[in-house]
Amino acid sequence: MTHETTQNKNLTLNRASLTRFAWLSIGAAITTIALKTGAYLLTGSIGMLSDAVESIVNLMGAAMALGMLTIAARPPDESHTFGHNKAEYFSSGVEGILILLAAVGIITAAVERLLNARPLEQVGIGLIISIAASLINFVVGRILIRAGKKCNSIALEADGQHLMTDVWTSVGVIGGVAVVAITGWSALDPLVALAVAANIIWTGVQLIRRSVSGLMDVSLPAREQQAIESVLARYRERGVKFHALLTRQAAARRFVSVHVLVPGEWTVHDAHHIAEKLENDIRAALGDAVVITHIEPVEDEISMSDIHFE
């Protein structure tokens, strides 16, 4: 079994295990929908209604994440030789769109309430329920973000970021409802809902932008590019040169290709061993990557004919 085959198998197993986090998110979404809907029905707060609507979006996003993580965990096949990892970008992109649609609904309801204000009811019980729902989202959101960053899963990280946005949304709603209960200024309730809508629009736009970047084969981030450059620098001290360095990322997978220019008097055996060691060092620096090298003699002028790829 080759190194790449073993690496693909291990990555597939790791991606399959991530679905348990999606199920955790689904469970949290169902629980918070029930709690926040109850808080809205008790209080009649449009702010709490907006909070409940966002939890419905959380559920839809978590379900999408589960489906895409399941697809992303599939091993490479004849039609998808580089794997199915990009499926995660569809999850985060759809979740971003759902967030924007939820914001439109919240804005519509908030404007209607501004025009037709009404007093809130049973605020104390409603606030307690909302606080409980927010604590659930906070704990689950932190778990998802940590797992997403550790496993380079944009689907989990997006789901976690959405939950944390929901938490801060709830904090604003709870604070606004409390102020309304104290001051009697009913107009503050829909104004808080409008602020909530603006906040989740920002989150949705960021998720969509990140998903589009991934689908467009964006290069690795500067920190990882620097890690690759540090590896190449060590080999330059041994007389090896490089050009046509290309990188891209597909969710958890990183792809690196580079042309390796070695002295012409080196044997094929020596050049091959250098390339193998270079590939291993780059993989070690990035944690997980598919690395492809192309050996060329440094003295041959046609070796630099594709320098424009740099």
pLDDT digits (tens, 9 = 90+) for 4-43: 444 444 444 455 677 888 889 899 989 999 998 888 888 8
- CA 219, distance to chain mean position in Å, is 16
Helix (H) or strand (E) holding 190, with range, is: helix 188-215
CA gyration radius, the chain: 25
Name the CATH code of domain 3-215 (choices 3.40.50.300, 1.10.3660.10, 3.40.50.2300, 1.20.1510.10).
1.20.1510.10
- Return the pLDDT at 78: 80
Spatial contact of 293 and 256, defined as CB atoms under 8 Å apart: no
Hey, what CATH topology would domain 222-309 get? Alpha-Beta Plaits (3.30.70)
User: Percentage of the chain surpassing pLDDT 70?
Assistant: 89
Which pLDDT tens digit goes with each residue over 285-302?
987 788 999 998 887 776
Which pLDDT tens digit goes with each residue over 43-75?
887 777 777 877 887 788 788 878 877 887 777
**Edge-to-edge order in the sheet of strand 253-262:** 241-250, 253-262, 290-297
Written as six digits, the tokens of 205 are 């736009």
**What are the sequence ranges of the domains in the chain?**
3-215, 222-309
CA dihedral 53, 57, 62, 64 (to 10 degrees): 150
- Return the pLDDT at 211: 80
Rounded alpha-carbon distances, angstroms, from residue 207 to 16, 150, 223, 250: 23, 18, 21, 15
